[in-house]
């Protein structure tokens, strides 16, 4: 890994570049600027994000994302829905890692009701959570290639993600929107054969990670495109509330799976939180690659000792959540996904604040894009990794 000095040098360089870009506006021999509208329909925005960039040549002087093209008003919609109905809604927030969206909401509701899912349900939840992380991040790895002009990785990503989605569908019935989590447990137990199949798939996924490492991460062109680009220092990352791999890539050793006590099975197995000191695009991508590997390890270990028993705690048939407020966040594929649920003892939440990871992760874009080149906008956006539904909710 690169030494700390070189990191500091690079950070300084990026600051200098940004300042130079700022200063150039005031220089007398100013070239005529150009405003480039990236999006709302643009292949690099995974949906409809629009970025307005003022350019000087190919250098970005100022950039501002404009979102809202996919605002679905989930916070308002939760206010007219009952708790079971909300889970069907929230797994559409980050549609690539949908099961992971349900878990923190259900945990928040369970916290208010002061019940806990039986151990088997916790185990299966964790397995599905990690599977959706794998499905989500492996697509990220492929998409990264596309953003940089390599077309093959994305097909490999789709190929291997398919196995994971088949597993999720086999267990929950929904490929993208499992809606499998219930207050007090799970809708159903795993179907027979799930464990063996998952083991096979996890091997394939590790193989996929190796392939990606050879095809993309080891490629010198890829490295020259990402190393030292879009450096986010630790303190800035914290101020903007970056989370997940973006924060860990800036050298912050923080993983909500490890650092809080949740009724989930993460702390029952042995795994590692990967960090990277550089804070650049490469670091973010690299941390994610390692996380996919780590997730396959977590799943493998969890499969070894799933406790037997029921998957549903005793809950009333009509769920009324007692009055109170609860905040639960989990380490989702994109970062910290949390729900602040305010209940008034009703059938549905009184107010739900959905703290989605991408919203914070993208709010740093105006800061980080200053002074980079147009092609770097794409790599930085790709490495920050956002899902439009997760920004706009």
Partner 1 sequence: MNAALLAADLPYWAQALLRVLGGVVAVLLPAGTIVYVFLFKMMSFMQSRLGPMEAGPYGSMQLFAEVGKWLQKEDITPERADRFIFKIAPLVVLVSTFLLVAVVPFGPDAWFTNFEAGVFYMLAVSSVSVLGILIAGWASANKYSLLGGLRAAGQLIAYELPMVLAVIGVIIQAGTMNLQDIVLAQNAGSMFGWDGLGNPYILTQFVGFIIFMIAVQAELTQTPFDMPIAESELVSGYMTEYSGFRFLTFFIAEFATAGVFSLIASVLFLGGWGIPFAWFGWDTMDSVDNWMNVVGPLIMVTKMMLLSFIIMWVRFSYPRFREDQLQRFAWKVLVPVSLVNIMITAILKVAF
Partner 2 sequence: MPKVPGLLKGLGVTLNTLKRTTIDGANTVQYPHEKEAPPVRARGVIALREDNCTSCMLCARSCPDWCIYIEGHKELAPPRRAGGKPRQVNKLDRFDIDYALCMYCGICVEVCPFDALFWSPEYEYSEPRIADLLHDKVKLGEWMETVPEAPALEAGAEKKGKK
Partner 3 sequence: MSTDAVAAIPGDTLRERIVDDLRSAIGDALLDSLVKPGDDVWVRVRTDAWRATGLALRSLGFDYFCFLSAIDWMPSPFGKGEDDPTAPAPERDDTIAQGYAGGETRMQVLARVVHPTLHVGVNVKCDVPDSEPVVESWIPVFAGANWHERETHEMFGIGFAGHPDLRNMYLPSDFEGHPLRKDFPLLARIVKPWPGIVDVEPLPGGSDDEEGDAE
43, burial (CB in 10 Å: exposed 0-12, middle 13-18, buried 19+): exposed
Least distance from C-beta 159 to partner 3, angstroms? 31
Q: Name the residue among 245, 241, 253 with its Cα closest to residue 359.
A: 241
CB neighbour list of residue 192: distance below 8 Å, 6 or more residues apart:
none
350 burial via Cβ count (<10 Å: 0-12, 13-18, 19+): middle
**Residue 159 interacts with partner 2 (CB under 8 A)?**
yes
Q: Does 10 bind partner 1 (CB under 8 A)?
A: no
Contact of residue 239 among partner 3, partner 2, partner 1, none (CB under 5-8 Å per partner type): partner 3
Contact by Cβ (8 Å): 50, 67: yes
CB of 157 within 8 A of CB of 128?
Answer: no
Instruction: Specify the residue, 4 or 224, whose C-beta has the smaller distance to partner 1.
Output: 224
Quote the DSSP letter at residue 306. P
Q: Which of 193/316 has CB closer to partner 3?
A: 316
Q: How far apart are CA 241 and CA 20, in angstroms?
A: 27
Residues 119-158, one symbol each (x = binds partner 1 by CB under 8 A, - = not), give: --------------------------xxxxxxxx--xx--
- In terms of CB distance, is 303 or 374 closer to partner 2? 303
Question: Binding to partner 3 by residue 327, rule CB under 8 A?
Answer: yes
Residues 6+ positions from 346 with CB-CB distance below 8 Å: 320, 321
Which tokens is 211 given?
């392939």
Integer angstrom CA distances of residue 197 from 194, 200, 346, 368: 5, 5, 41, 42
By the rule CB under 8 A, 81 interacts with partner 2? yes
CB of 193 to partner 1, least distance (A): 24
Among residues 20, 236, 303, 315, which is the contact residue for partner 3, using CB under 8 A?
Answer: 236
Q: Which is nearer to partner 2, 223 or 239 (CB)?
A: 223
What count of other Cβ atoms lies within 10 Å of the Cβ of residue 251?
Answer: 18
**To which H or E segment does residue 127 belong?**
helix 119-147
Q: Is 307 in the site for partner 2 (CB under 8 A)?
A: yes
* Shortest Å, Cβ 53 to partner 1: 10
**Out of 24, 92, 199, 353, the residue judged to bind partner 3 by CB under 8 A:** 353
207 binds partner 2, rule: CB under 8 A: no
Positions touching partner 1 (CB under 8 A) are 34, 36-37, 42-44, 58, 145-152, 155-156, 159, 215-216, 219, 221-222, 224-225, 373-378
Positions touching partner 2 (CB under 8 A) are 81-82, 84-85, 87-89, 92, 120, 152, 156, 159, 162, 166, 169-174, 177, 179, 187-195, 211, 214-216, 218-221, 223, 306-311
């Amino acid at each position: 890994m690169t030494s700390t000095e070189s990191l500091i040098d690079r950070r300084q360089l990026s600051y200098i570049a940004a300042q130079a870009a700022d200063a150039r506006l005031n220089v007398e021999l100013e070239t005529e600027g150009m405003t480039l509208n990236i999006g709302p329909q643009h292949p690099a925005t995974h949906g409809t994000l629009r970025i307005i960039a003022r350019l000087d040549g190919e250098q970005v002087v100022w950039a501002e994302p404009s979102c809202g093209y996919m605002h679905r008003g989930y916070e308002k919609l939760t206010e007219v829905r009952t708790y079971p109905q909300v889970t069907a809604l929230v797994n559409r927030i980050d549609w690539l890692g949908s099961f992971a969206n349900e878990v923190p909401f259900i945990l928040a509701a369970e916290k208010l009701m002061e019940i806990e899912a039986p151990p088997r349900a916790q185990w299966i939840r964790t397995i599905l959570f990690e599977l959706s992380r794998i499905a989500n991040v492996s697509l990220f790895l492929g998409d990264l290639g596309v953003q940089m002009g390599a077309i093959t990785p994305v097909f490999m990503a789709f190929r291997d993600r398919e196995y994971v989605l088949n597993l999720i569908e086999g267990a929950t019935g929904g490929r993208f929107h499992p809606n499998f989590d219930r207050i007090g447990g799970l809708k159903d137990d795993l179907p027979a054969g799930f464990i063996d199949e998952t083991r096979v798939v996890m091997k394939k996924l590790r193989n996929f990670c190796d392939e990606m490492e050879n095809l993309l991460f080891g490629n010198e062109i890829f490295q020259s495109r990402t190393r030292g680009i879009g450096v986010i220092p630790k303190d800035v990352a914290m101020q903007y509330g970056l989370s997940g791999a973006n924060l860990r890539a800036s050298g912050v050793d923080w993983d909500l799976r490890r650092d809080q006590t949740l009724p989930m099975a993460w702390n029952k197995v042995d795994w590692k939180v990967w960090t990277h000191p550089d804070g650049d695009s490469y670091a973010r991508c690299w941390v994610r690659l390692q996380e996919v590997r780590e997730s396959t390890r977590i799943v493998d270990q969890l499969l070894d000792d799933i406790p037997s028993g029921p998957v549903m705690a005793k809950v009333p048939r009509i769920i009324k959540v007692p009055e109170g407020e609860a905040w639960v966040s989990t380490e989702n594929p994109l970062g910290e996904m949390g729900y602040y649920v305010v209940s008034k003892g009703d059938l549905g939440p009184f107010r739900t604040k959905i703290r989605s990871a991408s919203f914070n992760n993208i709010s740093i874009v105006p800061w980080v894009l200053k002074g980079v080149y147009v092609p770097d906008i794409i790599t930085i956006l790709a490495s920050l990794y956002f899902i439009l539904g997760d920004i706009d909710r």
